Structure 1
């Protein structure tokens, strides 16, 4: 009897071709109309019912068995990044300044492969497929949930390719896997004037510099060394001339934490430092703190299930324990609503994964062997979970 791994390998050619087509025609967040149309055509070919336009260009599809049972969701993201591709691939992006530099084209192909593997195998319950918009701007999952994508769902599973991992392996982690993501925007108002007469001005650039340095003390002096966090100011805009003190300075940054209770404290800490330093420099400051996604916290029983499936399918030696990362993922939004597990699948194109270009790099490439394997793993994860009865009791 053909195993699901063998069945997945037989789909490799068509899944890789589909991924390469998406790679050549990438679309940015909330602009994935062509990508969604291609997914819809594949679902029609498979005879899987679906609805479109969910949370932007998202698609929700259900594969239902004849017998009632749990609803297990599988998710893939579809959007690309505003990056000029430098990979040199024969199927490189045809759209200037837009690139699938995070592998969402592969994730979409993986979920379509899982759909094909599942369509004749689901006899009990339902597998719900979520093709999601706008992960890169941390907005798609919220939009999908708001439009009912998780209604009736018992558990959810997803994966992300990891170019730092060898192809053919998968990595899991209990508890917190990825960091929270919040955005900060700071406006500082001073008093402009001539650079040669600073005493007649109030310099927002000097104030901004002090705020940048002061914010670093949150991590170094206010948080436990065992509570990882990052406060990064990524842009400072002020003035246009070398001999003019500008009237305003604008800063933007990102805040990452690895525990929900730490994330909950960051807004107050940052507001206090910004306000008090600005007062000390005679400036006015306004902080806009934008909460984007929470910490991605896997659920223990779901991680245990994923680990069992991985070890059954590819062997315990090819399942690794994942290192934590403060990179964010809006899959965390789903996990705040229903139990689930997010895991990594190796995608390094090189024998030495450490030398691969990382996610969001213009030279990023992906080992396409991860596509049929990922499809097989997701399909088997869902199939086995459908037949485990009362989910909360195992």
Structure 2
């Protein structure tokens, strides 16, 4: 029987960034295969050209080689080489019924984990072994819940089929879209997505969430002409200056009366020396809104600013979408079922249908949810509360491991009792 806390702690020690989850995904494949699931992974589980914000080839290769050194099965991980780290598993129940899917994300964040003694992973000797990378958003817990759920359901005592989706690259909202494009959500009747924490206390669960924002992440590359900044500045075309012009005008965009909006230039870098006109500059921008159409309008205006700023300084610019999400609309029928199935579970003291506080950011499970709903199915995004010593994406982030087992039982009941 899976020791879910031990599993979570092992995954916590070996965090991997989006599309480099080679060790994690290989472990998922091995465990699911041993449980009797039909497992799809590598290029069969995710669309190559639809992946967003893919790391550079040398980054992918370094992470691949590191995973092998750390014990990843070479035959399995070879099929994931190049960033194909999605895993999908399916199992048929003992009688006919709907297809019920559960989604679990696997990736970590580029954050250096705390070494303070009060930080439980440090004190418990399961702090990240990959310096500068840590599980600071509970995805190690999510993956562990998914594998423990797979074990519970391996007895096939349910109707229909269960499909488990282990997704790479949720951070930066990059991975789900490519799994949808590969067809991994086809013929799904019910989809349950979930997250640990999110300011909900331990012992509380929510059957649905609201407040997720549509977002687009853009990466722009400006190209100019280098020249000596003192001897011949007029011969140069300053890419960094063009990018700075764009940045200021992007942040000057007006807010909207029709929807809440957010905008941010998170990265601006370029140039090689004080006396050299910068030939290259790179910028990463995000737009967000409570409405998909408003976010698309913001994106259009940002693109216009990027292109016109480049033209103003006689530069060229390329623009790439490196992440995206849309608002989530949960089906309250599933939320009500989730509340009902939470009754009587040890460790769950309170269940309610919806968490509708302030905007929670963005979630690329939104694409999976939308695809299921487009096919006439139902979907929801649930919250399993967890007391947190520090916020998500913080060096001292950790979860209350006592909530893991109740979460597994909750999902198990949903799989066995979905209507």
**Corresponding residue for residue 246 of structure 1:** 278
- Say which of 364, 369, 378 aligns to 1:330: 364
Question: How far 1:212 moved relative to its partner?
Answer: 1.7
Secondary structure (helix, strand or coil) at the match of 1:40 reads helix
* Counterpart contact for 2:292–2:327, Cα < 8 Å: no
**Corresponding residue for residue 7 of structure 2:** 18
Task: Say whether residues 1:31 and 2:20 are aligned partners.
Answer: yes
**Corresponding residue for residue 235 of structure 1:** 267
Q: Which runs of 5+ in 1 are unaligned?
A: 1-10, 350-355, 389-394
Structure 1 358/315 Cα, relative in aligned 2: closer, same or farther at 3 Å? closer
Question: How far 1:253 moved relative to its partner?
Answer: 1.8
TM-superposition CA deviations, 1:63-88 (whole Å, max 9, x none): 32222111010111122233322252
Structure 1 156/246 Cα, relative in aligned 2: closer, same or farther at 3 Å? same
Larger RCO, structure (CA 8 Å, separation 6 or more): 1
**Corresponding residue for residue 402 of structure 2:** 369
- Say which of 296, 301, 310 aligns to 1:264: 296
**Aligned equivalents of 2:240, 2:183: Cα separation in 1:** 46
- Say which of 303, 320, 328 aligns to 1:297: 328
**Corresponding residue for residue 138 of structure 2:** 103
- Say which of 380, 387, 411 aligns to 1:348: 387
**Aligned equivalents of 2:356, 2:213: Cα separation in 1:** 10
- Say which of 371, 380, 383 aligns to 2:413: 380
**Corresponding residue for residue 352 of structure 1:** none
Q: Which runs of 5+ in 2 are unaligned?
A: 47-83, 374-378
**Corresponding residue for residue 4 of structure 1:** none
Which is further off, 140-149 or 258-267? 140-149
Structure 1 120/34 Cα, relative in aligned 2: closer, same or farther at 3 Å? same
Task: Say whether residues 1:161 and 2:196 are aligned partners.
Answer: yes
- Alpha-carbon RMSD across the aligned residues, in angstroms, is 3.1
Structure 1 227/307 Cα, relative in aligned 2: closer, same or farther at 3 Å? farther
**Aligned equivalents of 1:16, 1:333: Cα separation in 2:** 30
> Which structure shows the bigger proportion of residues in strand conformation?
1
* Count of residues paired in the alignment: 365
Question: How far 1:95 moved relative to its partner?
Answer: 2.3
**Corresponding residue for residue 58 of structure 2:** none
Structure 1 161/202 Cα, relative in aligned 2: closer, same or farther at 3 Å? same
